[in-house]
Every structure is written in C-alpha cells, then in structure tokens.
A and B are shown apart, each in its own frame.
Chain A
Amino acid sequence: MSKSAIQIETRGLNVSFHNSPVLKDINIEIPAKQLTAIIGPSGCGKTTLLKSFNRLLEIQEDVKISGEIIVDGKDIMTSGLNVPDIRKKMGLISQKPYPLPMSIFENVAYGLRIHHGKNPKKVEEGVHHCLQEVGLWNEVKDRLHDPASRLSVGQQQRLCLARAIAVKPEVILCDEPTSALDPIAAQQIERLLLKLKKDFTVILVTHTLRQAKRVADYVIFLYFGMVVEHGLADQVFNDPKSPEMKAYLSGEIS
C-alpha cells in the first residue's frame, strides 16, 4: 500500500481502563477512501479502538492511552492540539442512534453552524444536501421541524449519518450501526456506507461476519485487545493465517 493512501496509522497504541489493559500494542494502517471492517468477539475492544481515533475515550473516567495515532501525517495524540478539530475530521455513528434533542433540521444544522458559518441560506442548503445524501429528504421534507426523536430508529440512524457528513469529515466511524435496526433499515445503512466510501474513509465495527464479508475492503480482526490479523478482505476471509481467525470464521468463537 502506498503511503499516500493511508488515512489512519497507529503505532504501539495501548489503552487501559482502570489499569486493566483493553488494547495492547495496536499497529495498524487504515486505507483512505475504503471500507475497513473491525471485527472480533464481544468485548475485544472494537469500540475502544474506534473511539480512540477521534479522541473520544478521554472523556471517560480513568482511561490511559499511550502510543501514536497518525492522521494526515500528524500524531493526533500530541498534547495541546485542538481536540474538536480532530473530532470534526471523524464522524461517529453509534450502535443505537442518538439524535440530539432538537428538530430534524437542527440536528443536521448543528455541526454546519459550528464549522461553516450561520448564513441561513447556506445552512439550509447544507441540510438539504446531507438529508438527500442519506436518502431521508423525501421522508422528512414536510416535517423538518419536528423533534428528531419522532423518527423511526432506522430514520434516526440515517439522520445521525447526515449529521456526521454535514461537517465534511474525512472519516466516518461506525460502531455496529445496524445492530439496532430491522433488516431493511440495516440494508439501507449498508448501501449508504458503500456509497459514502467514494468520498469518505469508512471504518465499520461489526458483529456480523456476513456484513463484513459483504462490504469490507480491508479487515482488522481484534482478539482480546490485540490485532491478530489484518489485511485485504479477500485475503483475510479466504486465506486466514492465524488459528484464532480461522476459528472465528468457522463460528467456533464469536
């Protein structure tokens, strides 16, 4: 892989909660403008890894993080950086959608106003564009000012996606975005992610192996806080090297 195509690189990343290590010596490279799936059994540290990319771990209590996370050639763990700027580059979609406690319109406008000015016309255009992008515009165009909590869960998840892309991030971090959704809504999200990877680097934590197989270009397999195997999806799925990966693929561990 050529250097220019790497979006995120970690070097010796260690994370511990309350002095018990959760991520151990993570060294990975995540390719730009591709869909990278992070897979692994429950509790292996997938969410933790994902949140370390946009420095969201540090708002929790008693977390220790060491190592380097290099984004655009710069280590984002350096102290003194403007953290909101780092986070702006990485949208986050969580397991269960959390619309902000405001209207549908305001949810998308929220980030726009913070980063791209308050010009009402531009904000409106931006909201329109993002809602269109996630295929929500036609469903909500008549009730833009309703509370976002009135949407269905699937719609809420797409709204969260719209909110994330509104600030023009480089990366979209998705933490099992479809696990709370019905199959049809899940499929919509999946297709959206595939579409979005043209413009964004997508990192997808997923519990379902089948989903990873369907969408991933690149795969990282975590096992008890360590990266046991990572590489191109084809190679990892069809020719796994480690016994753990083989066991996981055959369903022996899950």
Chain B
Amino acid sequence: MHINKASAVVKKKSFLSALLILILSILSLFVLKDIALALILLFVAVALIAVNFLIISRRLFDVLGTRFMLIVVLFVLALFFLLIIVLLNGSGILLEHQSIGDLLFSSAWKPFSNHFGLFAVIIDTLIVTAISMVIAVPISLLTAVYITEYAPTRLRNMIRPFIDVLAGVPSVVFGLCALLVFIPVVRDYIAPFFGVVTSSGFCLFTASLILSIMVFPIIISLCVESFSSIPLALKEASLSVGATKWETVKKVIFRASGPGVLSAIFLGFGRAFGETIAVSMVIGNQELIPRTLFGSGQTLASLIANNYTEVASIPLLASALIFVALILFVVVLIFNICGFLVLRRASKRWKY
C-alpha cells in the first residue's frame, strides 16, 4: 500500500517536472532563441513523459486486455449462437414442407421432385466414420506407443516432425492421392479379393481408407504428446515390480494418459465425420446404401459438397442442405459435450 502511494507521488512529481521542463524549453526557444537548448530540454521532457507513460501503460494494457478479451469471448459465443440460428432458420423452410421423420428415415433423395430423404446418407456416414475409426484408432495407438516407448531416441526425434506435417496437409491432397492410388487398388485387388468384381473403386471402403489415413497423424501426434508427458517415475513404479514394458504400457500408460488418448480419438472422429472434399472425391456420390462396402455411397458432408452448385435451380435444395449442415453441427456438438463429460470423469478418477 505504502509503496503504491509512494510510486504514485513519484509519478506525479516526475510528470510535473516534465511539464516544467517543457515550459522551460518553449521559453528558451522564444525568449532565449537558443534552439539547441530548447531541443535538449524538449528531449528530456519527452523522455520523462514517455517513461511515465510506459509505467502507466503497463497497467493500461492489463485493463484494456481484460475488457478486450471479454469482447472476444462474447463475440465467439455470439458466433456460435448465430450459426445455430442461421441453420435453424434456413432449415425451417424445408421442415414446413417435409416432416423431420420423413427427412431422417426416408431413403429417397430426389431434389428434382422436391423430396429429400437422408436415411441412406446418414447410414453411409456412420459406416464410413466407424470403419475409418476402427482402422485408425488401434494402429495409431500402437504407433504412438512404439514411438514413445520402444523407438530409439534418434528415430523418435526424426519421426515426430513428419507426423506433425502430415496432420496439416490439406485434405484435397489426400483425396487426390486416394483417387490415383487407392481407387485402382481397391477396384483391381481388394474388392475382387472379397468377391466383389463389379466395384468401380469409388466406394465406402476407399472413403474409409483415406479417412483413416487422414486421421492417423492427428491421433498419433496427440497420443505421443500425452504418452510422453507421463512422469518417468510412474513407469519406473510399474517396471520395478517386475512388469514388462508391454504390461506397463497396457495397464499404466494407457490409463494414465486415458484423457489425452480419448480426446485424440474424439478429435479424430470429428475430422473423419466432417471431412468433405477427400470423401467426395472417392465415395462415388450416390445417395443410397450400397449392398457391400465396395459400392458407391454419400456422406452428409460430401452431399453438401456435391449439391451446392444446384442450389439456385432447385428451390428447396438450399434449405435441405442447410438441414444437413444442422445435423453435422448437432452431432459434432453432442459428441464434443459427451467427450468433455467422459474426459472430466476419466481425469478425475485416474489422475496420478
């Protein structure tokens, strides 16, 4: 308290003296006509004021900062609700025309006759997302374990940047590679292997494959991060009762980093669920449930990507696509909330 008061007094004094010097400088310019002296005095005065201002502005930024942050936060919140309102409002037109039940459970997507059934697309989306996660999760977890626990240091330090770069590659690049590489491989080898000879390669399986590959780097990178943040002493505790490395990984490391692994999986799911362009390049884009995984399909996200160009010519299509967007939004929202709840529970229970 005393110090604050004292510093305030000092500030006031130095401010006053700055003013005084400023006046002296003006006087010396007009009365003494000595420009050099005036400049020197001016410089001193400005320096004093600047120092003062710096001292004040240190607090100033804090004060401004907290207000500003609040504004930013409010803005983000507003954006969130704005998005909901826009989506709800936009799909309203369609909902007057067609019931929700019909939208969700009818398979017929016939924009030209103004009938929009999403059942097939929803099922395709679920299948593609599920398969891609089933492929991606175990492999990425094992890779992450290998990188953090088994790989020699040199290799580990070499691999990590590659994975981080992969995580940031634009999805259209993955889509293109899938188009050039996976489509023929699936058409000529994988589908015939499973007894499907008529596959064009543009199918749910190819889409799942490319999605899982896009999800790998995300899950691996986050898991590596959470595995390597486990204290050495915790591993030592497990090893020193005579557990093997693998037992330690399975029983201790996976559990201790459970929250981190879970959020990695959630994030991967979000990416797979909402991925648009790469999927629309390889899935075949037909709004139906194929008889096998090697038939064409359509996901919610790719449906929007493939139809938005027709919005102008078909009256209700815009509203239908907004409804699809609403579904995407709600699912991601629900998934995030669940993820948050699960995480909170897990990290409470298994903190170390």
Chain A residues within 8 Å of B, Cβ to Cβ = 51, 54, 56, 59-62, 84-85, 87-92, 94-96, 98-102, 110-111, 114-115, 147, 149, 160, 163-164, 166-167, 173
Contacts and interface: CB of A to CB of B under 8 A. Distances in A.
Interface in B221-237: 231-237
Contacts of A59: 232, 235-236, 239
B168 interface: no
B349 interface: yes
Given A87-B239, A166-B241, 16 more contacts: A56-B240, A60-B232, A87-B240, A87-B242, A89-B242, A98-B234, A98-B236, A98-B352, A100-B255, A101-B234, A101-B256, A101-B350, A102-B350, A110-B243, A111-B242, A173-B240
Interface centre among B235, B236, B242, B352 (most CB of A within 10 A): B242
Nearest to B346: A101
Contacts of A163: 237, 241
Contacts of B292: none
Given A59-B235, A98-B233, A98-B237, A115 B242 contact: yes
B240 A90 contact: yes
A167 B252 CA distance: 17
A110 B240 CA distance: 11
B241 A110 contact: yes
Nearest to B348: A147
Contacts, number: 88
Contacts of A147: 349-351
Given A61-B153, A100-B252, A101-B252, A84 B350 contact: no
- Interface of chain A: mostly helix, strand, loop or mixed: mixed
A24 B350 CA distance: 40
Contacts of A102: 251, 255, 350
3 interchain residue pairs of minimum CB distance: A88-B242, A111-B241, A92-B240
Nearest to A173: B240
Contacts of B258: 101
11 contacts: A61-B153, A84-B244, A94-B237, A96-B233, A100-B237, A100-B255, A101-B255, A102-B350, A111-B241, A114-B243, A147-B350
B17 to A, nearest CB: 52
A234 B244 CA distance: 40
Contacts of B243: 84, 110-111, 114
B243 to A, nearest CB: 6
Nearest to A112: B241
Given A62-B153, A98-B233, A100-B252, A164 B352 contact: no
B28 interface: no
Interface string B258-282: 1000000000000000000000000
Nearest to A115: B242
- What interface size band does chain B fall in? 20 to 34
B247 interface: yes
Interface of B: 153, 231-244, 247, 251-252, 255-256, 258, 349-352
B39 to A, nearest CB: 58
Contacts of A88: 241-242
A27 B231 CA distance: 31
B153, B235, B251, most chain A CB atoms within 10 A: B251
Contacts of B233: 94-96, 98
B153 A92 contact: no
Nearest to B349: A147
Given A96-B233, A101-B255, A56 B351 contact: no
B235 to A, nearest CB: 7
Contacts of B350: 101-102, 147, 149
A110 B255 contact: no
Contacts of B234: 98, 100-101
Contacts of A54: 240
Given A98-B233, A101-B350, A147-B350, A114 B241 contact: yes
Contacts of A160: 237
B141 to A, nearest CB: 17
Given A110-B243, A167-B242, A149 B351 contact: yes
A173 to B, nearest CB: 8
A89 B239 CA distance: 11
Given A88-B242, A98-B352, A110 B251 contact: yes
